[in-house]
Amino acid sequence: MTTTSTGSSEQEQEADDRALGFWLFLLGDLVVFSLLFATYVVSTRSAPSLTAADFSLLRVAQETAALLASSFAFGLGVEAARCQRFVLARALFAGAMGLALIFLALELAEFVALAAAGKTPATGAGVSAYYALIGAHGAHVASASVWLAVNLIRWRSGVWSAWAIENFARLGVLWHFLDLVWIGIFSVVYLPEFFP
């Protein structure tokens, strides 16, 4: 091996390695969520749990719309960054961030409303499992938002390096992953209550 091989091919390999590592990490995270789903299903079958009367269909629809739109904006942002249109990319990422914060605010409002109605985790295992599953997803969204905030502060202006684009794209994978988990939550938690 000679010096010449430390060129771009090695950098590409390292970028590939980082991508592989991140996907492996998500695989592990997926196992956590699958166990949370399993806990939810088991706990709601036999214990006091939440029903359609406890949820607001409108709020769930708003949450879903906010998160899906955020994911869409993020996807467009990554494409814009790859096309070197950084101003547009920044705007799209900021939009994705705003929508994620709206989602988090809605979720918090839901928790507050439930707690005000006396439906705290102490009500029963089903309610606890609900808070645990939704809360874990929300905590993920919040962490991803911190990451995005850091990136937006870090790359405020100018031309982004390949690393910056890669970093946003990596966060995008997490962003879409959390979207998919939400679709699972929507299908397993809310939908069966409204359309049994």
Which residues make up the interface to another protein (CB under 8 A)?
Answer: 1-3, 6, 11, 13-14, 16-18, 20-21, 24-25, 27-29, 31-32, 35-36, 39, 42-43, 46-48, 120-129, 131-132, 135-136, 143, 146-147, 149-151, 154, 161, 163, 167
In degrees, rounded to 5, the angle at the alpha carbon of residue 180 between the alpha carbons of residues 53 and 31 is: 100
| Cβ contacts of 43 within 8 Å, gap of 6 or more | 49, 125, 126, 128, 129
CA distance 63 to 86: 28
Residue number, 64 or 185, with CB nearest to another protein: 185
* CB of residue 24 to another protein, shortest distance in Å: 5
Residue number, 49 or 64, with CB nearest to another protein: 49
Q: Which of 151, 162, 160, 166 is nearest to 19 (CA)?
A: 166
Residue number, 57 or 180, with CB nearest to another protein: 180
User: Is the distance from CB of 112 to CB of 196 less than 8 angstroms?
Assistant: no
* CB of residue 152 to another protein, shortest distance in Å: 11
Residue number, 16 or 82, with CB nearest to another protein: 16
CA distance 162 to 155: 12
